[in-house]
Amino acid sequence: MKLQQIPRKIVGRLLYLAFRLFGWDLLSQARINYRSDLREIGTRYGGWVVPANLLDGDSICYCVGCGEDISFDIGLIDQFACDVYGFDPTPRAIKYVKEVAGKNAKYHFLEIGLWDREDTLKFYAPKNPKQVSYSLLNLQKTKHYIEIQVRRLQRIMEELGHEKIDLLKMDIEGAEYKVIESIIEDKIDIKVLCVEYDECAHPLDGDYKQRIRTSVNSLLENGYSLVCSQSRGNYTFVKDA
């Protein structure tokens, strides 16, 4: 069988496995620096892989984008007894978080979104009404939206009295590009950075892979190492000591 006759999905899977075998991420084309302390926390849907040795009871963790699964957020509290700050401005997420974690003294919830400036912007609804995640970039190209307050990360940290963050998780439906740029501009001290590049599931156009590579490279060029990547677009970075 000729190469061009092999189904594209099979070719893609073989390339993915080949890159992984040699310690590289296919999409970003970045080297993966594996660690022995990596631990997956949370459900299959909402979970993330983090370096356990870098977190403890004194850690400050920001989890931005809660939706209707905060198993990762609660898992951080359960495993490390640390304080977690959750952020999500969308109505169903607000209701869910208050029901699940409203009485948890270690969980602090803010009804705001993350962006690169202070503003009130349109968050566009998902196509499937059963889904909960709204998008500033309108990744799913829908018409219905709500208007939401957004903030720059540096300003939020100043108001909360935090000079650094031990872990920042972002699942923010395309807004991650702008926020990462603001983190680099402000030289924010973040030890562990977990990013979901949502264009893996809902690309705006054919250039989405290059946007992701550019964003990942900007982190690598500013002192981060990629320690884990998952096929659903989840990346875990660690700031080099």
The predicted model gives 132-155 an average pLDDT of: 90
Domain count, the chain: 1
Please tell me the number of Cα atoms within 13 Å of 200 on its side-chain side.
Answer: 19
Residues 85-134: pLDDT tens digits? 999 999 999 999 999 999 999 999 999 999 999 999 988 988 888 788 88
Band the pLDDT of 3: cuts 50, 70, 90: very low
**Segment among 15-24, 57-66, 121-130, 139-148 with least mean pLDDT:** 15-24
Q: Is residue 181 part of a domain?
A: yes
Write out the two tokens for 150. Answer: 């957004």
235: domain CATH number? 3.40.50.150
Q: Is residue 19 part of a domain?
A: no
List beta partners, residue 111: none
What type of residue is 72?
Answer: F
Q: Which structural domain range is residue 218 located in? A: 30-239
Query: Percent of the chain at pLDDT above 90?
Result: 74
Would you say 177 and 216 are in contact if contact means Cβ atoms under 8 Å apart? Answer: no
Q: Is residue 42 part of a domain?
A: yes
- E strand segments, the chain: 38-41, 48-51, 60-64, 83-87, 107-110, 113-115, 119-124, 145-152, 164-170, 189-196, 224-229, 234-239
Q: Is residue 11 part of a domain?
A: no
Q: Is residue 45 part of a domain?
A: yes
Band the pLDDT of 196: cuts 50, 70, 90: very high
Band the pLDDT of 1: cuts 50, 70, 90: very low
Q: Is residue 18 part of a domain?
A: no
Q: Is residue 54 part of a domain?
A: yes
Backbone phi, then psi, for 233, in 5-degree steps?
95, 10
In this structure, the chain runs to a length of 241
